[in-house]
Structure 1
Amino acid sequence: MAVFTEVSQDDARDLAAKLALGEVRELRGIQGGIENTNYFLTTSTGEFVLTLFERLSFEQLPFYLHLMKHLAAHAIPVPEPHATPGSATADNPDGRLLQTVCGKPAAVVGKLRGKSELAPTAVHCAAVGDMLARMHLAGRDYPHMQPNLRGLAWWNETVPVVLEHTTPEQSALLKGELALQNHVAASSAYAALPCGPIHADLFRDNVMFDDGELTGFFDFYFAGVDTWLFDIAVCLNDWCIDLATGRQDDARTQAFLRAYNAVRPLAAAERQLLPVMLRAGALRFWISRLWDLHLPREASMLKAHDPTHFERVLRQRVAQAYRTL
């Protein structure tokens, strides 16, 4: 959510008029994040978020935008993309969700109420586990297919690039964990894991709460079709750990898993592979943070995340057996 592309007031007015959103009152860049350009857009009809996509292409983006429309139609609280009025067709009942701003693909979505809970309790973790399970079930009949673009294939491509920026000890850990994940991905147990659209980046700052109520999941632009277990692991590695040490918080972990299981019980293969998938989730974000830190792009308001955080999480996951199943 850094600002890579500066959007002018005229650009914003043109877009608001095209989408029939009313008169522009305010356009404000959003700080944080590292992938896309984001602005809060306030008009005479409401509050919205304008996103310009800096890496995803016009061909890739319909998967994400139509997924959000699909989930909203299934009562999952997500920011709903706005379509060009009158653009719906029999083949595309959602209408034209993808726009062009400053020559780049863009979209406008509704702004969720509330704020992120950056110091979650077991109650917050249970709410996220419950809604994540509902989201997975709601996505079962989503008709579009796109792989997780930051999945195993990307790890295999990116690890050789970032190794030159690591110590010998870090390099050994990266290569060893990558070999393990390739081995697991070729196993029959992995092939038995349930799959579907996943968020793949559901950290604390991508969920909204308002007065204790979970009001929405957002930032779906890492989503893809992958194992639901990977989505669970990503959540557990952020919502249910101590940020200072990377250690698992048992009470929050149990609350999350109980709530998820109450909606969609984990399959036997998922229970078997959860420990190694927790390592996969930590590995994915360690790799991407190394990449973002050492191969950065220029942007206003850009601040790369610390890669050593997920190195700590990974080392904790390697060192400790999973104790809650």
Structure 2
Amino acid sequence: MRSTRLLATVIIAGSLVLAGCGGDEKSPASDSPEAQASAAAAETPQTWPLTGLDVADGKNAEQKHPVLVLKMDNTPSSAPQVGLGEADLVVEELVEGGVTRLAAFYYSQVPSEVGPVRSMRASDIGIVSPVGAAMVTSGAAPITISRIKDAGITFFAEGAKGFYRESSRSAPYNLFTNLADTASLIEQGAERPQDYLPWGDAEDLPSGQPATEISASFSGGHTTTWSFRDGGYVNDNSFAAEGDRFPADTVLALRVEVGDAGYRDPAGNPVPETIFEGAGDAMLFHDGRLVRGTWSKSSLKAPIQLRTQAGPLTVPAGRVWIELVPRSGGDVQFSK
């Protein structure tokens, strides 16, 4: 019996020693904080920065190209606009002559044919900088090119890979690009841009008020009209072809200050410059209703922040059309 107890004691002691030694071993790499953080990130659904929508299985939100912003003509001469329906997000801005131009954002998909491509404005600095976008343009006035370069914005103009003239159209409304070819000019590591808007869920929106018809007027010139139909907003006076119109889930109208860019266009019209920083009133149209709030941008490169009197305001994930409506001379009307 004594020998049996002694043997048991030795076995237990040996087990304790081995357990103690085991505690000095390094934890497997999978248990490290870095590995755990990576695993948690992998389990978190990826979302697209320009829509807030979930990335489909098998795809990645980190592309090997930056956000591409194409300047598209928005006059009757542009009809039909091509590739607008594949944009992730669109910003409409005032240019000279009371007309508007579109900044069409592409990232989750890059179409093969887009246009007509038109020129940049200094207003674009505040529009594209928050996501480090590269611009696709027909060019710009020398003063604008200088300011775009000073802002550190990459741009591609006619003559670069992908650009071509459409023989069935008249200049200057015949410049198009194969955007996928133009995107191949940029070699960079895969990197996801930051979110362009503060994304959220529709359930988080305040109740607001009914609003199914919208008119955004730009300083006595062009007016863009929208109707809420079949769960989304339809641009009633779009210059895009049927089936290629931008499918807006949300229309976000931001009232902005407009200054003078300091030069005139070839027709002698003063060129306006949207000041896209500071703060102003915001009108968020979603699901047939309007939520009022304010927007702010602490600098041209800063992201857009939205608030109501109750606190931060998020935008339901989806495709968004942003109207930069002049505070003076512009107007946003709506009805039930």
Normalization by structure 1: what TM-score? Answer: 0.24
- Higher helix proportion: 1
Larger Rg: 1 or 2? 2
